[in-house]
Amino acid sequence: MFEAILFDNDGVLVDTERLYYEANREIIGALTASIEFSPDVYRRMFLESNLGLASILRAAGYDDPSFIRARQEERNVRYSALLALHELVIEGAEAVLAELSERYTIGIVTSSLRYHFDAIHRRTGLLRYVRFVVAHGDYAASKPSPHPYLVGVERSGCAPQACLAIEDSRRGLLSAKAAGCACWVVPGPLTRGSDFGTADRILSELGELRSLL
């Protein structure tokens, strides 16, 4: 049925979502104690929609674009530092990619900045199984827009209905479905509780793919 599998990166293949949350939390906390930034707020703002740090700062009255850009850059630097300190590959991810890459075209469709993506995978060894990567800057609008998965479908050389997306977030699910792909969701610690009602299947862990495909 499927010819290509398009994996999200953060939270699906690598355990980085918690580190990105922490980087944002540190920047906000250093700025003011008046902004609530719980895991639930992060899930709603970052993983269900695409509002992010800029929207949080503007809502708190910080509306100078240069100030916001500076805080985003501080966040990005801190995230890079955290990536270097932790083991990142999600358990079972390499076995899944190794097996499925023998039968399917494997791509990654991510919202990560390219330099963060490259820093992550310099240590993972996972890209040996991957045919192509679609990262931030390769599309006109981020998830939940369909643009990232439309680019992924094009690069796969397959029809949308022949592509299966593997996601962990609601905004990723919406992006994949809007691009015409089937989407299976593997909820993670920061995305459980989101509405995954339109998912074609919900998995308890990534390793289930090996028996389902």
Mark whether 103 and 190 lie in a shared domain.
yes
pLDDT in tens, 170-212: 999 999 999 999 999 999 999 998 999 999 999 999 999 999 9
Domain region containing 41: 17-83
Largest distance between two CA atoms of the chain: 52
**Both ends of the chain: CA-CA distance in Å?**
9
pLDDT digits (tens, 9 = 90+) for 106-119: 999 999 999 999 99
pLDDT at 135 over 90: yes
Indicate the pairing of strand 182-185 with strand 163-167: parallel
- Residue 33's pLDDT is what? 85
Q: Tell me how far CA of residue 79 lies from CA of 73, 119, 120, 150, 174, in angstroms.
A: 10, 11, 11, 28, 26
| CATH number, residue 139 | 3.40.50.1000
Of 83, 111, 128, the domain-final residue: 83
Mean pLDDT, all residues of the chain: 96
**Do 108 and 163 sit in the same domain of this protein?**
yes
CB 7, CB 186: distance < 8 Å: no
Q: Residue 34 — very low, low, confident or very high, per pLDDT cuts 50/70/90?
A: confident
Same domain, residue pair 73 and 158: no
- The sign of the torsion formed by the CA atoms of 99, 204, 117, 2 equals positive
